[in-house]
Amino acid sequence: MADTIYKTEAEVLDAAERVLERSLRAFIPESDMPEIESNLIKYSNNRKGYLGDLIEQYVFNIKNNSRAESDFKIAGIELKTTPLKVHAKKRFVSKERLVFSMINYEEIIHETWETSSFLEKNKLLLILFYLYSKDESLLDYEFKFVYLLNLLEDISEQDIDQIRSDWEAIVAKIRRKEAHLLSEADTYYLGACTKAKNSQVTRTQAGGLGIPAKPRAFSLKQSYLNYIIQKDLLENDTQTESIYKDESSEQTIEEVVQDKFKGYIGLTGEQILKKLKWQPDANSKNQKRLIVNRILTGTGSNKIEEFEKANITLRAVALEPNGKLRESISFPAFDYKDLITQEWYDEETGEMSAFHAQLETQKFLFIIFQKIAGTKDVVLRGFKFWNFPAQDMGEAERVFKLAQERIREGDYKKLPKTSESPVAHVRPHDVKGKSIETPQHTQEKRRCFWLNAKYIERFLKD
């Protein structure tokens, strides 16, 4: 049967919407099943690519040929399939980032955003969201949403400006021959995520003599995709507040934050409260955090739309009067039995351990206060966007694996201490007296990974 030729977006969309609340199996004739079943066994390591191929063939009636061009040549649409998982409160969240084409380090340095191969290929996306289940054949994944997304028209101007700025930041790093230092958390909405069958694969970067770099692809961050799912597809009220003044603002996230804090840097806590004309209920311990929320949103809300989309975690830190940082930075408590099953990086699926994912994808916004000697007050010194540097990832991996080893041995007295690594350690993190079960069926207090105070301190200096 000849390929179907699609002439308009509407025709493609009509064809796509037939999959809603159904799975692929319903589209495949019985006679083709034996071959597909045997392919499924053969391709078990690359199931996602095969899912896309099957959709093109059986849902859209297009034979798989060159994938370099747009999937629907005439309509100019790029087809994407991406997994969802169930979430208790939000119904569905994205299981992964949305991955685009590979970054060609040697070619991309000659591009501009307007002429970029990224924009050329991906400005019009047809995204099929399916509900993933690890026990099911991919033929039985149920499709939940079909979304035709025109990047330049459907995404707000602010967000597309930010995406452009992200693209430019990634390319600038590649131009500096620092492709080996790229991290998904370098940028806000568009990221450069790793993409390789195994972690040994490397690519030559621009300039020829540079250090080999991991292959990476452009991706829309999982956090950004989640926002699209909640707002555009589920039409949930996200209950977040934008930090932008109005829709015509052309600033990046960093510029908006800069503007918000400008009038407050150098003031004491007391002066800031006066300026905000606001008094918190009690002299509570998280007063600094409440002040920061107030400065950013005006209302004190702590759910900021742009921070959720970009996976930015806000941390208020207090330097000592002498400029030292006393407190380390904590991560969520881990479960011992779960932790020893995690792989730092799963070569087959590309999945990361929780700690690795936090370091690779999370951006921090540190709001830096300094204690004033002899008083209880503080001064607002400034702020710093930061993400875990790629060159320290190996050390984080070492601490992670050390923790796993000691847990497997049941040696809870010897979990990695501050003195064992310049970067990270393991320490208790729990409310009083709360214990959980270990792999050895004993009870242990809950613990988590921390980034050493001394390690963070040097990034907070201006």
Partner DNA sequence: GCATGATCATGC
Residue 145 to residue 300: CA distance in whole angstroms: 34
Residue 275 to residue 227: CA distance in whole angstroms: 33
Give yes or no for residue 302 binding DNA (CB under 7 A).
yes
Beta bridge partner(s), residue 151: none
Strands (E), 202-339: 216-220, 312-319, 329-330
Pick from 119, 333, 340, 393 the residue near DNA by CB under 7 A: 333
Give yes or no for residue 40 binding DNA (CB under 7 A).
no
Pick from 48, 175, 180, 315 the residue near DNA by CB under 7 A: 315
Half-sphere exposure of 31 (CA within 13 A, CB side): 0
Of residues 116, 121, 27, the one with CA closest to residue 73:
121
Give yes or no for residue 273 binding DNA (CB under 7 A).
no
**Identity of the amino acid at 352:** M
Residue 21 to residue 131: CA distance in whole angstroms: 10
Which span sits near DNA by CB under 7 A: 98-106, 201-209, 331-339, 389-397? Answer: 331-339
Task: Determine whether 425 is exposed, middle or buried from the number of CB atoms within 10 Å of its CB (0-12, 13-18, 19+).
Answer: buried
Give yes or no for residue 314 binding DNA (CB under 7 A).
yes
CB of residue 285 to DNA, shortest distance in Å: 4
Strands 216-220 and 124-131, sheet pairing = unpaired
SS3 of residue 227 by DSSP: helix
Per CB under 7 A, contacts with DNA among 133-192 are: none
Tally of residues, the chain: 462
Give yes or no for residue 303 binding DNA (CB under 7 A).
yes
Comparison of 95 and 289: residue with beta carbon closer to DNA: 289
CB of residue 442 to DNA, shortest distance in Å: 15
Question: CA 423, 350, 213: angle at the middle one, nearest 5?
Answer: 65
Comparison of 192 and 319: residue with beta carbon closer to DNA: 319
Comparison of 175 and 427: residue with beta carbon closer to DNA: 427
Give yes or no for residue 318 binding DNA (CB under 7 A).
yes
Q: Tell me if 300 sits within 8 A of 290, measured CB to CB.
A: yes
Beta bridge partner(s), residue 437: 443
Which span sits near DNA by CB under 7 A: 126-134, 148-156, 270-278, 310-318? Answer: 310-318
Give yes or no for residue 431 binding DNA (CB under 7 A).
yes
Per CB under 7 A, contacts with DNA among 438-457 are: 445, 452-454
Comparison of 18 and 324: residue with beta carbon closer to DNA: 324
Tokens 């370099």 belong to residue = 68
Give yes or no for residue 91 binding DNA (CB under 7 A).
no
For the chain, the distance separating the N- and C-terminal CA atoms, rounded to the nearest angstrom, is: 65
Give yes or no for residue 328 binding DNA (CB under 7 A).
yes
Comparison of 71 and 306: residue with beta carbon closer to DNA: 306
Give yes or no for residue 363 binding DNA (CB under 7 A).
no
Give yes or no for residue 417 binding DNA (CB under 7 A).
yes
Give yes or no for residue 413 binding DNA (CB under 7 A).
yes
Give yes or no for residue 286 binding DNA (CB under 7 A).
yes
Of residues 356, 326, 316, 327, the one with CA closest to residue 339:
356
Pick from 173, 216, 294, 425 the residue near DNA by CB under 7 A: 425
CB of residue 331 to DNA, shortest distance in Å: 6
Of residues 290, 291, 122, the one with CA closest to residue 219:
122
Site for DNA, rule CB under 7 A: 89, 281-282, 284-286, 288-290, 302-303, 313-318, 322, 324, 327-328, 330-333, 413, 417-419, 425, 427-434, 445, 452-454
